Amino acid sequence: MQIDARTLEQGTTIEADVCIAGAGAAGMTIALDLLGSGLSVVLLESGGPARDDQNDALSEGRMTGIDTWDLRRMRIRALGGTTGHWNGWCRPLMRQDFEQHDHIPYSGWPLKYADVVPWFRKACRTLEIGEFQWDADERARATGKRLLPVSDIIEQRYYQFSPPTRFASKYGPVLAQASDVRVLTFANVVDVRLDDSRRRVDGFLCRTLTGTTFRVHAGRYVLALGGVENARVLLASRSQQREGVANGHDVVGRYFMEHPHYYRAIGGVHPSALDLGFYRRGESDWRRPDGSAVQMLGALGLAAEVSRRERLLNFSATFQAPGTAPSTPAPVVEDRLPPAAAQALVTRGRGGYETTLLTVRAEQSPMPDSRITLTAEVDALGMPRVALDWRIAPEDDVQMRRAMVLLARELGAKGLVRLRVPGDATRFVWRQDPGGHHMGATRMGRDPKVSVVDVNCRTHEVQNLYISGASVFTTGGDSNPTLTVVAFAHRLANTLRSERRQERSTG
Amino acid sequence: MTSLLRREFLLRALAACGTVAYASAGPRGAEAAGAVPGAARSISAGYFGDQVDAVRVIGEAHLRQLGVEAGDASIRSAARTTLAMIERARDQPRAIRALEQAVRQDFERGRTVQVEGWILSKTEADLCALSLLEDDLSR
């Protein structure tokens, strides 16, 4: 059932077993998984069926750190959330991304990669990609494409591409027709109200842009509002506690991470004969039920043991397809081989050469000072706007340079590609663009002093409050987050169902 | 030399440095040049397929980074390991094969230098520097 919250009577209270705030990839996934569970669900969405400026304006915020893309444009406040303009890049966080590393402060998830694999598999189906199978050798064999003949220093990787799945059109109708789900559009959470114990949520206070105020009272509450808004709502819910909700240790909003994207940062020269087919976006061997091919794109990273030994952050490098116009502004590579030099052959006088550019998508270290805070400005609902102070540790640039030099040495040793690494002899220097991946501001961990949610995505401080989305990431790896976000949403839905079963069995 | 020309030369040289694994035959210039064994500048030219001007630009940049004057003695000193390798070879083809192996090993063992951003093997960079020798007799 779908209800326009603007039509509710002022002061209405809606009862449900589970209230999910946010109908994007995470929130819709949870709602879908709870169908038939016996739990009544209310799914709140800030926008309506389509994007509109008035709603998007609610996301405006100030950038006080590294300049990132406009928050207002980056997130979509409408059914389906940001899947409405997502490009479909899928790769899971990797095994090593979940581990604790001495050289990455605050690293180490409270669960292992293997614990998430069943949910990753399910997420692959939700996002309409191929199997949860990431062995590049196997994929190359299956597609008849060739991997670069590099040593095991390099880890060959690939992305899969979702069609991309637009959750509003794909799953919206299912939820709208469900008898046990009520989808409330134009409904914004403006305050998380706690009970007298301050250990449980008593209700979400909600408001529409037309001035209707109502309350949702539920047994369990999930915030699935996006990586910035999850933190914003917790910080802004200070009607009962000055620090906000679930923020007794001043962690909410901290450890904000992005994936620094170094677009076309690495110059390369290679023989024309080099086969880069695996590293160009193209069809995989997987087919969807409608017959369409799942697309894939090969990438290069360092093997986990090399990253560990050399104390490096994770990254993946992709080759720019020839003839593609840059969609994102980036610095110009000054030393691209000009056509006039084409007679000088890359193979020392034997055969032709080509130039290429590599884009690097990188991990960043979590930092407490990279954070979201509230400003004195308010939006049309009276909610404080955020200041986003995205920071990257200087050590990350040092690690990135070492990583790129290792990549260059391996490609040089095998006579494949010569690389030009920007920066000086100590640091990688290139413009750090965001990926629109807002991670870490309500991070997962065992220690409430440095994390907001536990291994089950439940807040340490508030027993019936859960968080879903990339804001729970302890570390971000370099993989695009959507597949992992959806995997954790499936897992959280399973937790909610299990808790329901447990309650029933104990009467 | 203008910076534009320098860049052009550098890029040509980088292209000339190229790759080993994808090359099926020996360097074009090696046998044809018929260089006298021990003639470092000729070996350099042969190795890089006669991309002499471009190679010299890399050599200059490499020496600049090392803080070395572009005089014969200082070049020989800076590139002595590579020079010794050339001198040990009985003829130019053998010298070039030895250099190819050394370049590969440089990359594998991390003996690289960064010249104007490009990651080159130390041997390659030395070889570029040797192309700057005025007196081509190595000793």
Contact assignment for A353 to B114 by CB distance below 8 Å: no
Which chain B residue shows the shortest CA-CA distance from A429?
Answer: B117
Closest CA to A221 of A452, A455, A496: A496
Name chain B contacts of A154, Cβ cutoff 8 Å.
Answer: none
Which residue would you say has higher pLDDT here, B5 or A37?
A37
Which domains are assigned to chain A? Answer: 1-56+75-127+165-250+437-507 (3.50.50.60), 131-161+260-362+393-431 (no CATH)
B38 Cβ under 8 Å from any chain A Cβ:
no
Instruction: Specify the pLDDT at position A323.
Output: 66
Say which of A334, A418, A422 has its CB closest to residue B17.
A418
Contact assignment for A350 to B15 by CB distance below 8 Å: no
Over chain A, what is the mean pLDDT? 93
Which chain A residue shows the shortest CA-CA distance from B26?
Answer: A350
Contact assignment for B21 to A414 by CB distance below 8 Å: yes
Tell me the nearest-neighbour CA distance from B20 into chain A, angstroms.
5
Contact assignment for A344 to B54 by CB distance below 8 Å: yes
Return per-residue pLDDT of chain A as tens, 507 residues.
999 999 999 999 999 999 999 999 999 999 999 999 999 999 999 999 999 999 999 999 999 999 888 898 888 999 999 999 999 999 999 999 999 999 999 999 999 999 999 999 999 999 999 999 999 999 999 999 999 999 999 999 999 999 999 999 999 999 999 999 999 999 999 999 999 999 999 999 999 999 999 999 999 999 999 999 999 999 999 999 999 999 999 999 999 999 999 988 888 888 888 999 999 999 999 999 999 999 999 999 999 999 999 999 999 999 988 766 555 544 444 443 333 233 333 456 666 778 788 999 999 999 999 999 999 999 999 999 999 999 999 999 999 999 999 999 999 999 898 888 988 888 988 888 899 999 999 999 999 999 999 999 999 999 999 999 999 999 999 999 999 999 999 999 999 999 988 888 886
Instruction: Specify the pLDDT at position B16.
Output: 52
- Report how far residue B90's alpha carbon sits from residue B127's, in angstroms, rounded to the nearest whole number: 18
Give the pairing of strands A61-63 and B118-121: unpaired
Instruction: For the beta carbon of residue A360, count every other beta carbon within 10 angstroms.
Output: 26
Contact A51, A76 (CB under 8 A): yes
Instruction: Specify the pLDDT at position A224.
Output: 98
Instruction: Specify the pLDDT at position A507.
Output: 67
Instruction: Specify the pLDDT at position A332.
Output: 45
Instruction: Specify the pLDDT at position B103.
Output: 92
Contact A468, A492 (CB under 8 A): yes
- Report how far residue B105's alpha carbon sits from residue B120's, in angstroms, rounded to the nearest whole number: 12
B17 Cβ under 8 Å from any chain A Cβ:
yes
Contact assignment for A419 to B107 by CB distance below 8 Å: no
Q: Is A435 helix (H, G, I), strand (E, B) or coil?
A: coil
Closest CA to A59 of A80, A43, A77, A45: A77
B118 Cβ under 8 Å from any chain A Cβ:
yes
pTM reported for the whole predicted model: 0.91
CB under 8 Å to A279, separation ≥6 — which residues? A148, A297, A298, A299, A300, A318, A319
Over chain B, what is the mean pLDDT? 74
Domain residue extents for chain B:
3-130
Contact A492, A456 (CB under 8 A): yes
Contact A190, A207 (CB under 8 A): yes
CB under 8 Å to A476, separation ≥6 — which residues? A93, A97, A257, A258, A259, A363, A364, A366, A437, A439, A440, A470
Out of A190-199, B26-35, B114-123, pick the least confident: B26-35
Cα four-point dihedral sign A124, A127, A129, A135: negative
In the block, residue with structure tokens 């299912």:
A174
Which chain A residue shows the shortest CA-CA distance from B16?
Answer: A348
Closest CA to A296 of A284, A311, A314: A284
Which residue would you say has higher pLDDT here, A255 or B38?
A255
Instruction: Specify the pLDDT at position B20.
Output: 36
Tell me the nearest-neighbour CA distance from B29 into chain A, angstroms.
8
Query: Residue B21: pLDDT above 80?
Result: no
Q: Is B7 helix (H, G, I), strand (E, B) or coil?
A: helix
Say which of A334, A414, A425 has its CB closest to residue B114.
A425
CB under 8 Å to A218, separation ≥6 — which residues? A15, A16, A17, A18, A19, A42, A201, A203, A204
Name chain A contacts of B12, Cβ cutoff 8 Å.
Answer: 341, 343-344
Instruction: Specify the pLDDT at position B22.
Output: 36
Instruction: Specify the pLDDT at position A180.
Output: 95
Contact assignment for B114 to A334 by CB distance below 8 Å: no
Helix (H) or strand (E) holding B99: helix B92-109
Tell me the nearest-neighbour CA distance from A275 into chain B, angstroms.
11
Which chain A residue shows the shortest CA-CA distance from B109?
Answer: A409
